[in-house]
Amino acid sequence: MKTNLVLIGMTGSGKTSIGRKLSAQLAAPFIDTDLYIESLTNQTISALFEISEQYFRTVESEICKKLASEVTHTVLSCGGGVVLNQENIQKLKQTGWIVFIDRPVDDIFQDIQTQNRPLLKDGKNKLYQLYKDRIDLYREAADFIVENRSTMDDVIQEIEKYFLKTVQKGEVK
């Protein structure tokens, strides 16, 4: 049965901030998968990437499987690359609705510090390339797409409306 809300999107799209506030409003637990990985491995995401991106992706996939099978009624914020492994999405969809938070790349770039984001050390062009490479994967994975172009409260309100409408329709399979 689906009970989780799973937030996906580019790094800097607002998943963690929106997820925290959304979970508070829904009185539901919140898990940021990157922070969860860091706490389990006692290493930063950057340190895991230094081992290799493939190593990080393997750890990320294991965490997705674990969370999909162990948590309920939770708001999950996933790392931007979670969609690169289709199995991650399949597992997360078994117990949750996937919400793609789409945000303009220029807005993302203005707000994030690229030096703390392993895949963005090359700057704005790299961010555009990642968006181009991933946009179709995000759209295909999503049960619902919300554009993060206004306030956080507006985005949260859209997600809550979708969630309530889905539950009321009985789509809680």
Q: Please tell me whether 96 is known to bind a ligand.
A: no
What is the rounded distance in angstroms from the CA atom of residue 86 to the CA atom of residue 8? 13
Q: Please tell me whether 17 is known to bind a ligand.
A: yes
C-alpha dihedral sign at 29, 98, 93, 91:
negative
Q: Please tell me whether 14 is known to bind a ligand.
A: yes
Q: Please tell me whether 39 is known to bind a ligand.
A: no
Q: Please tell me whether 79 is known to bind a ligand.
A: no
Cα-based distances in Å from 166 to 34, 42, 61: 28, 38, 27
Q: Please tell me whether 117 is known to bind a ligand.
A: yes
- Coil, helix or strand at residue 143: coil
Q: Please tell me whether 12 is known to bind a ligand.
A: yes
Q: Please tell me whether 41 is known to bind a ligand.
A: no
Q: Please tell me whether 20 is known to bind a ligand.
A: no
Place of tokens 């979970």: 23
Residue type, 92: L
Q: Please tell me whether 80 is known to bind a ligand.
A: yes
Which residues define the annotated binding site for substrate? 34, 57, 80, 134
Which residues define the annotated binding site for ATP? 12-17, 117
Which residues define the annotated binding site for Mg(2+)? 16
Which residues define the annotated binding site? 12-17, 34, 57, 80, 117, 134
